[in-house]
Structure 1
Amino acid sequence: MSDEEKRRWIKPTTEKPGSGRSITERKVIARNARTESSKKWIERQLQDPYVRKAMDAGFRSRAAYKLLEIDEATQILKKGQRVIDLGCAPGGWIQVALHKGVGEVVGIDLLPVDPIDGARIFLGDVNEPRDVEKVLAALSGPPDLILSDMAANTTGHKQTDHLRTVALVELAVDFAIAHLAPGGSFCSKVFQGGTTKDLLTTLKTHFRTVKHIKPPASRAGSPEIYVVAKGFKGNRAHKGETE
């Protein structure tokens, strides 16, 4: 699997939520501690209150709190919704969606994800039509909400990293426009200056409201923010009509 394919920063864990550090995790920490950069990463993780909160609450990643905070500000998660999570590993956002009482959740990722009760999770690629068909077929109807926390591996070159991330956001936006139910919502990670002008125009054409949000759980030094679009215009937007 190439770096471009590894869209998630964290590998799924097989340990039970809230069970403390597994033997495997301790071995990984010991191995990573051989380099200064890894030491700094480990120190930051150990000092991060959201990491501890996630472990105590049984969430698979601290990213769960990003979605919880996004939802607190935008109310995108609703009971009974059909939800698709693009780039769902390790499953924290799926856990939050289920916690909020959505009706159906389907996730897809290039990396394997341990099963989550109440969700359907596929190992696959959003670029592959057959994988997309499987995801859509797992729902009883069109999704009401599409989530994407996909992120390309960083290279350290800001322009390259920005272009890679924009490409993933564009992929998620195209997916949402093609498959969302009318009135549906979309939430995706973006970086640096947020969405590009063209992408923002596309979102405003197809959704009634579009806003950017930086949840408190997103580290202050991180360039990530999230775009939330609500009120998908459905078929009328596909035809280029306006309200």
Structure 2
Amino acid sequence: MAKDTTGRLHVTVKSGGKRKLSSKLWLERQLNDPYVAKAKAMGYRSRAAFKLLEIDDKYRLLKPGMTVVDLGAAPGGWSQIAAKRTGAVDGKGKVVAIDLLEMGEIPGVTFAQLDFLDHDAPEKLIAMMGGRADIVMSDMAANTTGHRKTDQLRIIGLVETAAHFAGEVLNPGGTFLAKVFQSGADAELVAQLKRDFATVRHVKPSASRQDSSERYVLATGFRGQQQPSSRGT
């Protein structure tokens, strides 16, 4: 164990046995990540909570009484923040979280184990919310193959689908926030969002690892409802 450049103790994981190098590096990164430790200390389900906190502190997206949809919500870090900042914990706002995976109960959050790609998913969500959403947010990332260009296209494809979904459930003036990865592949996504939203920008919170190409696309001022979906037909 040694100290890093900030003076913190740096944990080194030993190699050997059945542990792959990639697993060793991931474990070292987790053990030495201050946001991971801070998330545990504050009771957040993931370090990703700090990304949403930082974005919301700057852009003031989450307001009391709002209705929020959290796509791919598990393990629930973003839903926790949304529930607190919209007042859903106290019954003032509403947070609906969906994921293919199970997710433990979170105060103020309604969870459905559901695939947002399903043709009837928008109708199910609107029924659960009792109306439309003010914000659709997504910290999802597509499963990677290790082939950079293929992975970029899969990630952008997932976000484009999430953006289309948002267009089916958002109120006029609503917001869409989603994780993307910096590449030239997202030009079409940005063009699509600019047609549907008044303002589109990229943001990179400091809680995102600096060695990662991860960033977020933030689209605000939804112009109005899209035509009925043709997904699944």
Query: In the alignment, is the contact (CA less than 8 A) between 2:99 and 2:112 conserved in 1?
Result: yes
Structure 2 counterpart of 1:223, from 207, 213, 218? 213
Alignment of 1:148-163 (within 5 A): 148-163=138-153
Q: Deviations over 1:99-142 (max 9, x none)?
A: 21340000111111111121111111011134433222111210
Q: Which amino acid aligns with 2:27?
A: I
Equivalent residue, structure 2, for 1:75: 60
Q: Distance in 2 between matches of 1:37 and 1:203?
A: 35
Counterpart position of 1:132: 122
User: Could you list the per-position Cα deviations for residues 64-89 of structure 1 after superposition, in whole angstroms to 9, with x for gaps in the alignment?
Assistant: 01111111221111111000001101
**Equivalent of 1:123, from 103, 113, 123?**
113
Structure 1 CA distance for aligned equivalents of residues 134 and 75 of structure 2: 22
Q: Does residue 185 of structure 2 align to residue 200 of structure 1? A: no
Q: Is the 8 A contact 2:152 2:183 kept in 1?
A: no
Which of 20, 24, 37 pairs up with 1:35? 20
Larger radius of gyration: 2
Normalising by the residue count of structure 2, what TM-score does the alignment of the two structures yield?
Answer: 0.84
Higher relative contact order (CA 8 A, sep 6+): 1
Q: Is the 8 A contact 1:194 1:212 kept in 2?
A: no
Deviations 1:138-170 (A, max 9, x none): 112100000011101222211011011011101
Name the residue aligned to 1:190: 180
| Kept after mapping to 1: 8 A contact 2:177/2:216 | yes
Match of 1:110 in 2: 100
Distance 1:189 1:182, change over 3 A: same
SS at match of 2:207: coil
Distance 2:169 2:59 in 1: 21
RMSD across aligned positions (CA)? 1.7
Q: Equivalents in 2 of 1:221, 1:86: separation in Å? A: 25
Residue identity (%): 51
Structure 1 outlier segments of 4+, above 4 Å: none
Query: Is the Cα–Cα contact under 8 Å of residues 83 and 106 in structure 1 kept in the other structure?
Result: yes
Shift in Å at residue 196 of structure 1?
2.0
Paired residue secondary structure (2:205): coil
Per-residue CA deviation, residues 28-76 of structure 1 (Å, 9 max, x unaligned), is xxxx972222121111101100001100110000000111111122111
Q: 1:149 to 1:130 in 2, by over 3 A?
A: same
Structure 1 portions without partners, runs of 5+: 1-31, 239-243
Deviation at 1:193, TM superposition (A): 2.1
Match of 2:81 among 82, 96, 102: 96
Task: Please give the TM-score of this superposition, normalised by the length of structure 1.
Answer: 0.80
CA distance in 2, matches of 1:57, 1:136: 32
The answer to whether the Cα contact below 8 Å between 1:33 and 1:39 also exists between their aligned partners in 2 is no
Structure number with higher strand proportion: 2
Q: Which amino acid aligns with 2:118?
A: E
1:55 aligned partner? 40
